[in-house]
Amino acid sequence: MHIIVTLIVGLIVGALAKLIMPGKDPGGVIVTILLGIAGSFIAGMLGHALGWYRVGDGPGIIASIFGSVILLAIYRAVIGRRHVAV
């Protein structure tokens, strides 16, 4: 159940991260949603490690948005730099 909640939250968070950080993404909407899911997983793992969530609890929306925005910024920096260098 934990993984399903994380995936659903990640899908929503990916869309919200795109709204928070508008701009042209090299990967489009699908990559943004995948980054949202990854941000949700990272927020869940970090929350469990820090004791914020109990076993079986999914990540929170705020923590997932924060993780997704950070991953989106890193993704844009890495991919954007690669496209300029080519």
Q: Are 45 and 10 in contact (CB under 8 A)?
A: no
What is the distance between the alpha carbons of residues 86 and 81, in angstroms, rounded to a whole number? 9
pLDDT digits (tens, 9 = 90+) for 27-84: 666 777 788 888 878 887 887 788 877 776 666 778 888 888 888 888 878 876 665 5
Torsion angles phi and psi, residue 79, rounded to 5: -70, -40
Q: What's the pTM value of the predicted model, to 2 decimals?
A: 0.68
Take residue 14 and report the two structure tokens written for it.
Answer: 């990916």
Total count of domains within the chain: 1
